[in-house]
Amino acid sequence: MNQVRVLVVDDSATMRGLISVTLQRDPAISVVGEAADPFEARQAIKSLDPDVVTLDIEMPNMNGLEFLEKIMRLRPTRVIMVSSLTESAASATIKALEIGAFDCVAKPSSKDPNSFQDLAVKIKAAAAAPIAHIAERRLGETSKTEAASFKSDGRIVAIGSSTGGVEALLTILANFPENCPPTVITQHMPPLFTASFAARLNRVCKPCVSEAVDGAPLAPGHVYVAPGGRAHLKISKGGGLRCVLLEAPPVNGHRPSIDVLFRSVAQVAGRRSLGVILTGMGRDGAEGLLAMRNSGAETIGQDQASSLVYGMPRAAFELGGVAKQFPLHRIGAQILNSTNN
C-alpha cells in the first residue's frame, strides 16, 4: 500500500519537527516536505502534490485561514488544522472547519499534552476521503422546514458527531426554529474549541446554543454542547431533565464520549427522546444509540454518501442502533417532523 504523503506547514521549526517526528513513527505515512509560511507552502503543494497538508492557524505573511480559503477555492486539498489552545485560535479553527478543513488537532500543552496521539489516525482518514467530497462540501445546503407552526411534542434530541461534524451540525441546526426541542450534542473536539463552536452556532442559528454546564435544565429552544476534553455530558432526572458533567476517564478514547450521552438519554428519557449519529471516525456512539433504540427512542443515522467519514454511522447501523438513514440535508427536517406535536 502506498504511503500517505504529508506536507507540514508551521512557522515554528520546533513544531514542524515535532509533527514530522510524530507522523514518521507510522510506517504508513511519509512526510515529504515542510514549509514555514503560506508562500513556501504554495510552492511545496505544487511541486510535491501531497495527499494531506497539516496547516497552522497562526503564521506570518498570510494567516492559515486566508491560505486555506485560497487552497479550497483553487486546489481543493485534504487539510488538518493544527491549532494552539487559545480562544482566538479555537475560533479560527472552527472557521477553518467550515471552509473545508478535514479535521483539527490542538498543539500539545499543559492542558492537553497528548493532543497529537490521534494525529496519524486523522491523517490516514483524511487521505482516504475522496477529494471530490472535500471539494464539493458546502454549508447551508439544507432542505428547509416550515418552522413557524412547530410545536415540540416534549421529546429531547441527542446528537453525536466527530470528524465533519462542524459542517453537519451547522447544516442541521440551520433548520431548527427558535422553539426547537431541547437538544444535547457531543462533538469530539479539543478543550476550548467547543466553546467557540457553541458561540458560532448561537450566532447563526435561531435557538439558544451554549456549552453545557453542570445542572443546566433542558429547555425548549436550547441546544447544549458538551465541553471538549473536560468532561462527559450526561442527562439526569431531578426536578426535570438536566445536564450533568461527569469528570471521568475517556470512553472509546474520547472525553466527552457519545456513548456516555446516549446511554444516559436511553436510561432517563427512553421513548421520549430521539437520537442522531453523524459523520465521524471510529465507533463511539454505536452502542449508546442501540441502547436508545432498545428503550423505544427513534434513531437516525447520516448516510454514507453525505458523511465526510462514514465510520460512526456505519458502526451504529451495522450494530442495529440506526432505524433510518438520511442524507445530511434531510436530517434537520426529519428531526423536526418527528418531534412536532
| Residue 118 is a catalytic residue | no
Strand 4-9 vs strand 29-35: parallel, antiparallel, or unpaired?
A: parallel
84 is catalytic: no
Residues found in the chain: 341
| Distance between CA atoms of residues 117 and 250, nearest Å | 14
**Dist CA 233 CA 243 (whole Å):** 7
Residue 156 DSSP symbol:
E
What is the distance between the alpha carbons of residues 226 and 214, in angstroms, rounded to a whole number? 10
Cell triple for 282: 471510529
Identify which of 27, 80, 76, 71 has the alpha carbon closest to the alpha carbon of residue 52: 80
Q: Which residues pair with 10 in a beta bridge?
A: none
Neighbours of 50 (CB within 10 A): 23
Catalytic residue chosen out of the listed positions 51, 83, 152, 188: 188
Give the span between the Cα atoms of 106 and 119, in whole angstroms.
10
Helices then strands, counting H and E runs in the chain, come out as 12, 14
Give the Cα separation of 190 and 228 in Å (integer): 5
Kindly give the pairing relationship between strand 78-83 and strand 4-9. Answer: unpaired
Catalytic residue among 83, 162, 196, 295: 162
8 A C-beta contact, residue 233 and residue 212: yes
**Please, which residues bridge with residue 104 across strands?**
81
Q: Do β-strands 183-187 and 222-225 pair in parallel, antiparallel, or remain unpaired?
A: parallel
Q: Catalytic pick from 10, 103, 284, 303?
A: 284
Under DSSP, is residue 241 helix (H, G, I), strand (E, B) or coil? coil
Helix (H) or strand (E) holding 203: helix 193-204
Residue 188 catalytic?
Answer: yes
Q: Which residues are catalytic?
A: 162, 188, 284
